[in-house]
């Protein structure tokens, strides 16, 4: 099956998904957006207010920061794919519950298996934990302030994947001082 067809199926699946209770309060699911042949996959946490409204990832304030960071290393949204761990917005942007992450995991697994990225950039603690556990790196898991900017290389049947945890761009929306460490992390991502 073509990548496009897989993603059409996934879009349909999340639009009708009731695997956890978040379907009750969401307006639009956010599967993700970008280039299905991207070498770099970004994984965030969950849709926020604006994402839920528009059905697209990182279109609010965190998205503005993300665009700035992508720009700083010469990347455009069309070059990459952006997904989240959860496809529906948690009420008041609360943290995802473990049961929600588990219920939603099949979609992100399928996105990763279809896109086959060479690098996975984990934005924040939830994405880092999900991706590191998926690839058997749970023993190396640390909080994002310790682990950000490190590179982990894993071999899979689809080839080698580099996993790079970064701070979540939203941290720079309430602490402008975080922009510099974020930029540094993004340059590490390009060199990895
Ligand atoms: N924060 C996220 O983690 N994902 C989005 O799509 C928007 C904000
Ligand atoms: Fe389904 Fe995921 Fe939405 Fe829960 S968050 S309803 S599992 S798509």
pLDDT in tens, 10-21: 999 999 999 999
CA pseudo-torsion sign 100, 102, 108, 110: negative
Relative orientation angle of helices 3-15 and 98-115, to the nearest 10 degrees: 160
Answer left, alpha or beta for residue 7, where phi above 0 means left and psi between -120 and 50 means alpha: alpha
Contact present, 146 and 185 (Cβ < 8 Å):
no
Number of structural domains (the chain) is: 1
What CATH number does residue 14 fall under? 3.40.470.10
Q: pLDDT per residue over 108-124, tens digit each?
A: 999 999 999 999 999 99
**88 CA to middle of ligand 2, Å?**
6
State the pTM of this model: 0.97
Determine the Cα–Cα distance for residues 17 and 74; give it in Å rounded to an integer.
36
**CB of 13 closer than 6 A to ligand 2?**
no
**CB of 62 closer than 6 A to ligand 1?**
yes
**125 CA to middle of ligand 2, Å?**
19
**CB of 22 closer than 6 A to ligand 2?**
yes
Domain of 116, in residue numbers: 3-191
């Amino acid at each position: 099956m073509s990548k496009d067809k897989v993603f059409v199926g996934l879009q349909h699946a999340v639009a009708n998904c009731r695997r956890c209770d978040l379907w009750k309060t969401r307006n639009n699911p956010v599967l993700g957006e970008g280039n299905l042949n991207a070498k770099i996959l970004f994984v965030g946490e969950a849709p926020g207010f604006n994402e839920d409204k528009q059905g697209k990832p990182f279109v609010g304030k965190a998205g503005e920061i993300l665009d700035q960071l992508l720009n700083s290393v010469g990347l455009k949204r069309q070059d990459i794919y952006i997904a989240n761990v959860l496809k529906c917005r948690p009420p008041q942007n609360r943290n995802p519950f473990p049961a929600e992450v588990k219920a939603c995991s099949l979609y992100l697994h399928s996105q990763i298996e279809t896109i086959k990225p060479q690098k996975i950039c984990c934005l924040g603690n939830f994405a880092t934990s999900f991706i590191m556990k998926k690839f058997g790196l749970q023993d190396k898991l640390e909080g994002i302030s310790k682990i950000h900017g490190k590179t982990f290389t894993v071999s899979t049947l689809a080839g080698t994947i580099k996993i790079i945890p970064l701070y979540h761009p939203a941290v720079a929306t309430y602490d402008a001082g975080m922009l510099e460490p974020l930029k540094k992390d993004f340059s590490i991502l390009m060199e990895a």
